[in-house]
Structure 1
Amino acid sequence: MPIEQQRGTAMNDAENLSKMLNHVQPDYFRKFIAEHFQVELQEIDPKKGKREIRAGFADTLSSLPVAERQKMEELAEKIVLLTDGPGQDAVDSVRYEHFTEAAQQEAFEKLGNQYDRSLWLFGEDLRLFNEAIDARSAAVFRQSASCYSGFIGPKDLVLREDTASVDTFHEKVAEQFKCPKDQVAVQVFRRLHPDSQTGDDVALYQVSIHYNLAPEAVECVKDSQLDSQQVTRAVSSFITYEPDNGNLEVLSKDGNGREALARLAADHLLRSSITGERIPLKRYDYQCLATPFQFDIQGENVDWARVTQLGYTKSGRSMILKIGIKDPDDIYQASRDMVTADFKFSRHVITFAQISLKIRKQSGERARTVHIVLRGENGCNIKTKREKDRVLCDHLLEKWGIVREIGDESLAAA
């Protein structure tokens, strides 16, 4: 039983610390707590199993003052961020780019799981750890169309990282956000990113921008009286530039300000203006799935692919048929069994489809099933958090003739 469940409510105020306790090797966890919080957990008894050792650690941590445990939780939250799919992709993107010594790569490969790897990066190089956090945030933003704008820029440029260029960009961004310069943070770094065509890792520049919003008043209780205090929140935007294709992408929740950020980056960091032309959006034509479809997966890291959902709309009514990934029949036979013996999806205009595929197990990674959901003409939701899986699915949709470009996002919105 996991420690956080086994110990009842003792660690309920430290969810991420509990996750680290359960997954990081005990000796590694003990060292982390001692180095960063000057708290000595009990010596590890080699005769005890990991569960018993961790239970003892949990007892000690639970006996600490809440404020002290909360400090541990705040740091643990950052470390745990890099343990999910986007987080592990981010770790790989910075470590392959910056760790060139064989000893560093060898030490990383020996680590047991994603929690150990995230903690190792934190201890090995705090700057790279923070860059990985920003790379993960950018990847999460990229999954949402409402946070994304892509612009076509010149290829093969070197993004300037010298102090003067970054400082000028910093000043212009502060003006853009109407924010004092000392309340804006800018970081520029290089990392790797899966190429949208080949899936191979290519160099990518990332610019991370963090800035404060205007202070706001929130209510709180002090000395048994309702009071208020000012809180200042920070938000983030990210810019990426890929020299191989010239794509300049802005990832931000502020849709109106994305083109302005792209132009600032182009003018001051690339030293080359852009026209504002958008990266073409994609249109999905999946009517071919109305009849049995042969998914070409030859040469791909995929064990199988099949249609697991199909739907159509008629006279304001919709029907979606679903089958499991292990169903012995395909969706076409299932439709005949469940609707009528002569039912055919090809008699209808397909408005919804789900393709499920099994990605083959690779070194250091488990096999996993990914679902591609297609809806309407422009809707495509790839149900995965891994950037490399999204790139693979985009490649497969193009290979299968299901996707094509239709122009830029402004035209699509018109």
Structure 2
Amino acid sequence: MRTVLRADRVFDAERGTMLTGTDVAVESGLITAVGPDLDGGQVVELPGRTLLPGFFDVHVHLTGVWSHADEVREPDGDVLAVRAAVDCARLLEAGFTTVRDCGSMIALSLRDLVAGGTIRGPRIVAAGPVLSQTGGHGDHHHLPLDRARLVRGAAIADGPWACRSAVREAVRAGADFIKICTTGGVSSERDHPKDEHYTPEEIAAIVAEAHRLGRRVAAHAQGRAGVLNAVRAGVDSIEHGYFLDEECVREMAARGTVYVPTFDLRRFFERDDPALPEWRRAKQREARVAMRRSLLLAYEAGVLIAAGSDYYGVPYRAHGDNADEPIEMVRAGLPPVAALRALTLNAARALGMAGVTGSVTEGRQADLVAVEGDPLADVTALRRVAFVMKAGVEETAGRRLGCRPAVSDRGARF
């Protein structure tokens, strides 16, 4: 049945403008018309609301971890899996119709369960294991090395051929893309975000193997040297990038490298939680000073920015609150229209899905969200989700209206 959605405003992500007097028609899971005074078998009135493309979060971790205590004494795997499934439903109800999981073995199964209609959730693009050098951000420093190599979700590899092999193993496990660590990190004890991890030769080997197998590469890269090594080797996106400079953003813009700033973490860092160890708090203080400058440098240089929260389930980083990412980017000085594009069309481009979803365009999949108010005037409207549709099926407030499973994108290469 043809359904017409009638809201006060429609966000045109391709032009970066807000349309009025515009209806959106949906049929068989696709947007079939966008224009004034459309008619259809069913009309859904959305007064006072803005209709946008379905939201993306291109940097999440679906872990099932809901408290910091869980990180010390991890619950049973079945408990984590059920919690992660609940988080999938929360994401969908918050308007997120597509997410990219940047490291969680649970996500590989969740992806397939969502695609098959077994559980409710956003479309999931999953990395599976994270590739790290020995002693890198993806290594579990507190464990003996032989045990760290056995941790699910971490792939420790050194040397170009071992790195190629690790890519192949990730693809064998079902990875839609490859996640690597080219610097240290804030949350890993025995390194620093400015540390340069993986040699240029190792990164080039990873990128070449991943691209040969049709997978994109996302690089956890926070410090300048690791960012430049990753960008020059041809990675597809830089995750975090807290310490960018003019050379970094110039190279990223020239090569079309996407920037995922995970900017809302600055608010988490500013809490300076005394329960965290001092080594971590010191790195958080250093990062939070640099993050705003890096974000605005990238924007001014014309780097494509996509929204990714790095939320994984704990308080202040809980799934369902992921719209905090574009909201905080606006508070830091990013224009609201740029933040909305980062949340929608830019994110779709980052995943190679711009021809599938990410804009309110005829022929695109009907992933649509209505929020109370106008997010260009008040970006916090992104938190006030009133209507969610994924692939033409209404998913609003826990009510799945429709009986068919969500459309599967398995087989596509992101």
Larger radius of gyration: 1
- TM-score bin, normalised by smaller chain: under 0.3
**Structure having the larger proportion of residues in helix:** 1
**Structure having the larger proportion of residues in strand:** 1
TM-score of the superposition, structure 1-length normalised? 0.23
Question: Which gives a bigger RCO, structure 1 or 2 (Cα 8 Å, sep 6+)?
Answer: 2
